[in-house]
Amino acid sequence: MQPDISVQNVSKVYSGGFHALKEVNLDIQRGEIFALLGPNGAGKTTLISIICGIVNMSSGRVLAGGHDIVTDYRAARSKIGLVPQELNTDAFETVWDTVTFSRGLFGKAANPAHIEKVLRDLSLWDKRNNRIMALSGGMKRRVMIAKALSHEPQILFLDEPTAGVDVELRRDMWNMVRGLRDNGVTIILTTHYIEEAEEMADRIGVIRAGEIILVEDTDKLMAKLGKKELRLQLQAPLEQIPGALALEPLSLSGDGYELTYTFDAQQEQAGVARLLRQLGDHGIEFRDLQTRESSLEDIFVGLVHE
Amino acid sequence: MNVHGVRAIYKFEMARMWRTLMQSIASPVISTCLYFVVFGSAIGSRMGDINGVSYGAFIIPGLIMLSLLMQSISNASFGIYMPKFSGTIYEVLSAPVSYVEVVLGYVGAAATKSVILGLIILVTARLFVPYTILHPFWMFAFLVLTSVTFSLFGFIIGIWADGFEKLQIVPLMIVTPLVFLGGTFYSIDMLPAIWQTITLFNPVVYLISGFRWAFYGVSDVHVGISVGMTLFFLAACMVAIWWIFKTGYRLRS
């Protein structure tokens, strides 16, 4: 099947010389939810901005809905809706007017029934005659989503949709995204939150320093990366792990002074208690212990050093 | 052609005019009325006719031009600068609209406002001084042509400006002096010879002269030259805008 979005060898060098994207290749299938993860400055927003036509690419090619975004920009862009990261809204216009404006701008004839549905779905209907500047931050975020959905896009970009958003809106947004996916809309979201990607996405792509370093199905990735570690600093060094403990996921480092126990973050932590008991039974004493969860940052570092 | 897109931008910009009626229409009308009272009625009654036209009537075309130029520039520059400032420009850049359509929407709305304003001032002037319009077609043609040209110019300033100060600088520091020295309040043959020559480098002279010719049939320079200069400036603005969109200057990085 032809991908809904096809990014081919896309590079971007900003005028200051900053190399934001390096030969990026990425295919996103019709109707999937794709999460793009990466630290700040990794190139997530640049990639989205290029696909949406806000930033010019230095080289490469992008197809959206089968249309080249440069030579056939009208057909490509009319399929795309974008909710940017920043809360960039008008101030003096009403919610209704600004959402209606967006629909027209994207070349669609007026359809008040559709606008009403979008506003109702996003709990904005009561605010339709309010000026945008009178709305709270969360409501403004909803307005930006309504604008992006006003022209019934086939592809929706959500750039950090839940940054600084309360629990209720986050839940609403997840429901909305699933509803859109069920209607065949392709969704690309960027996020810092790994649990959000895990909850929402069918596939996850990791971008770091302008390069896509991994694209994987979400469940596979989580199985691989959702790890927790317990590190024990021992009183006396061990030459090797005692035979009775050999079945445990343990490793020895730091000249035998550090014992690391790795376990699945999703599991209950009963294993930790059992391990500590067993260590006591073997007379292995420790002077300090730490636990840490593999963070997104660790995942990137791990991937880069692979 | 994305007709819905052009209409959306045009309607959005026109709505801004109705929202800021005091600033868009009332304020230029009031300041022009003050000119008519002071220069037309009070001082004008003691001035002799110029080229057979009473002084009060003589200054009408220039005063309309003054408002037309200032408002065209400020409307169009503000119209495109605000989305840049607030960040909402992302939507226009990501929309399936060509740059010609973007310009049609923004500049069309700004020019429409200027034409409406020009006509309102024209009607208001009638309350203070009697005047005739010998060539109504040409009067309207100059009105529209000037509005479009200077709205294009304003659009360029709005894209160039990266702060509110720059937005104000061109209308206040360049256009206002050019209009005042461009024959709004006098005929350029009233100037010493050397200043007459220097004045011919002022593009506004051609606008005011042509516009005045449409009213009274008298002009400082031949009306053909006026039309030619206006069209030349229009073409120059179009080339600049074509370049802006081609290179993405201050719009797309």
- Tokens at A287, concatenated: 């002077």
**Which residue segment(s) compose the domain that B216 sits in?**
3-247
Between A11-25, B12-26, B101-115, the lowest mean confidence (pLDDT) is in B12-26
pLDDT at residue A267 tops 80: no
Q: What is the pLDDT of residues B125-153, one digit of tens each?
A: 888 888 999 999 999 999 999 999 999 99
Our CA dihedral for B91, B241, B160, B175, rounded to 10 degrees, sits at -130
Residue B188: predicted pLDDT: 86
Find tokens 């900003």 and name the residue: A14
Percentage with pLDDT > 90 across chain B = 58
For chain A, say whether B8 makes contact (Cβ under 8 Å).
yes
Q: Give the chain A residue whose CA is nearest to the CA of B87.
A: A88
Chain mean pLDDT for chain A: 88
Is there a contact between A77 and B96 if contact means CB atoms under 8 Å apart? yes
Nearest CA in chain A to B20: A92
- B235 vs A213, residue with greater confidence: B235
Instruction: Give the range among A217-226, A263-272, B203-212 with minimum mean pLDDT.
Output: A263-272
Q: Is residue B253 part of a domain?
A: no
Cross-strand pairs, A262: A229
Domains in chain A, CATH or no CATH each: 5-223 (3.40.50.300), 226-305 (3.30.70)
Residue B35 has a pLDDT of 87
Q: Return the structure tokens found at A94.
A: 């009403």
Average pLDDT of the residues in B101-116 = 96
- Res. A268 pLDDT band, cuts 50 70 90: low
Contact between chains at B86 and A52 (C-beta distance less than 8 A) = no
Whether the pLDDT of residue A217 is over 60: the answer is yes
**Once rounded to an integer, what is the mean pLDDT over residues A69-92?**
93
Q: A14 touching B, CB under 8 A? A: yes
Contacts of B2 in chain A (CB under 8 A): 74, 107
> Which of the four pLDDT bands, split at 50, 70 and 90, describes residue B33?
confident
* Residues written for chain A: 306
Cβ–Cβ under 8 Å, residues A292 and A259: no
| Proportion of chain A above pLDDT 90, given as a percent | 51
Domain-embedded: residue B159: yes
For residue range B80-94, list pLDDT tens digits in order. 999 999 999 999 999
pLDDT at B220: 87
* pLDDT, mean over chain B: 91
User: Residue A297 has what pLDDT?
Assistant: 55
A202–chain B Cβ distance below 8 A for any pair: no
- Above 80 in pLDDT, residue B206? yes
pTM: 0.85
Give dist(CA A127, CA A104) in Å, integer: 21
Helix (H) or strand (E) holding B213: helix B203-216
Strands (E), chain A: 5-13, 19-28, 33-37, 59-64, 67-68, 80-83, 155-159, 186-191, 203-208, 211-217, 227-234, 250-253, 258-264, 286-293
Q: Confidence class of residue A280 from pLDDT cuts 50, 70 and 90?
A: confident
- Top pLDDT among A128 and A244 is at A128
Task: Inspect the interface and report whether the beta carbons of A73 and B96 lie closer than 8 Å.
Answer: yes
Model confidence at B25: pLDDT above 80: yes
B90 touching A, CB under 8 A?
A: yes
Q: Looking at the domain assignment, is residue B252 inside a domain?
A: no
For position A185, what pLDDT does the model report? 95
pLDDT at A149: 95
pLDDT of amino acid B205? 93
Test mutation, A18, A67, A105, chain B, max B CBs within 10 A: A105
CA torsion A255→A261→A265→A267, rounded to 10°? 180
Asked, for residue B85, whether it belongs to a domain, the answer is yes
ipTM of the complex as predicted = 0.89
- Residues in chain B within 8 Å Cβ distance of A94: none
Distance CA B110, CA B155 (A): 9
> What's the pLDDT score for residue A306?
55
The confidence score (pLDDT) of residue A197 equals: 81
The answer to whether residue B92 sits within a structural domain is yes
Higher pLDDT, A298 or A292: A292
Q: How many structural domains compose chain B? A: 1
Q: What are phi and psi of A28, to 5 degrees?
A: -125, 130
d(CA B212, CA B205): 10
Q: Out of A55, A90, A93, name the one closest to residue B253 (CB).
A: A55
Over residues A22-28, the mean pLDDT reads 96
| Mutate: best of B2, B94, B102, partner A, most A CBs <10 A | B94
User: How open is the CA angle A250-A254-A260, to the nearest 5 degrees?
Assistant: 20
Asked if residue B120 belongs to a domain, the reply is: yes
Q: Residue A36: its pLDDT value, please?
A: 92
Assign B65 a pLDDT band (cuts: 50, 70, 90). Answer: very high
Q: Give me the phi and psi of B13, to 5 degrees please.
A: -70, -40
Decide if B143 touches A, using CB distance below 8 A: no
> In a 10 Å sphere around its CB, with 0-12 CB exposed, 13-18 middle and 19+ buried, how is residue A131 labelled?
middle
Number of other residues whose CB lies within 10 A of the CB of residue B195: 12
Question: Is residue B49 included in any domain, yes or no?
Answer: yes
Examine the pLDDT at A180 and tell me if it is beyond 80.
yes
Read off the pLDDT band of A184 (50, 70, 90).
very high
User: What is the reported pLDDT for B73?
Assistant: 94
Place A208 in a pLDDT band, splitting at 50, 70 and 90: confident
Measure CA A17 to chain center: 27
Interhelix angle for B60-86 vs B27-35, to 10°? 150
